[in-house]
Structure 1
């Protein structure tokens, strides 16, 4: 019987494999880091294309300082910007720009193709992950 510790180790192996493939492809083909791609996706899915910085940090699993730097990179690239909340000047939002939405749209097909390929590759290379992937994929 597989233990929770063994299962978790398998999940972490799969996660590392997939994240590495995604990060390489997005950087090489679209000039985006994986966290930047995901931030653009969260912003695109938010009402009016904006999220409070702390909400974006929570969705990305980053601390406040890291998300501030990330949004700074997106701002420097012309993909998003920081804006003050009109009702509460202490509230700061990350706001998606049209160029950010276009870059996200261009990168989305790469992300999906590489994700599927990385999962298939992991199943082929690691038979112990095949059943896990089958269960997760439904």
Structure 2
């Protein structure tokens, strides 16, 4: 069962990554980072908070933030209380790109979960819960 769930996760993630890249020029981690920042107070997070929220290590999140910054979706800012702390801050362009991509993400996720339910009836309760969490 665990192997089936892991394979399903990889399949869904691959589909999401492909559709986001093709339609919006965003990688899956980039989309998720923009989402975390959009939901954060003041639309900013410390680099470590962003890494934790994405499940990435510090090196990976640094490269991710560099890509987002190069696209003008975020910028880096020093923490006023601790000059060693660095924040990643969402820009208006980043907020707009995330908003544009959100419907695509939700549509692709719903479609992938619907397909998975047909191919893996043993996972139906889990897939149903995931679909209902989408709203």
The reply to whether TM is greater than 0.5 is yes
CA offsets per residue over residues 30-73 of structure 1, 9 Å max, x none? 00000000000000000000000000000000011110100000
| Aligned counterparts of 2:102 and 2:130: Cα–Cα separation in 1 | 21
| Aligned counterparts of 1:62 and 1:17: Cα–Cα separation in 2 | 20
Aligned length: 132
Change in 2 beyond 3 A, CA 1:135/1:34: closer
Structure 2 unpaired stretches of 5+: none
| Aligned counterparts of 1:69 and 1:16: Cα–Cα separation in 2 | 22
Q: Does 1:81 align with 2:75?
A: yes
What residue is the counterpart of 2:63 in the other structure?
69
Q: Does 1:13 align with 2:27?
A: no
Query: Once the 2 structures are TM-superposed, how far is the Cα of residue 94 of structure 1 from its aligned partner?
Result: 0.5
Q: Does 1:111 align with 2:105?
A: yes
Q: Is the 8 A contact 1:52 1:94 kept in 2?
A: yes
Residue correspondence of structure 1 range 1-138 to structure 2 within 5 A: 6=1, 8-134=2-128, 136-137=130-131
Q: CA RMSD in A?
A: 1.3
TM-score, normalised to structure 1's length? Answer: 0.90
| Aligned counterparts of 1:59 and 1:70: Cα–Cα separation in 2 | 13
TM-score, normalised to structure 2's length? Answer: 0.92
Q: Is the 8 A contact 1:35 1:60 kept in 2?
A: yes
| Aligned counterparts of 1:17 and 1:35: Cα–Cα separation in 2 | 16
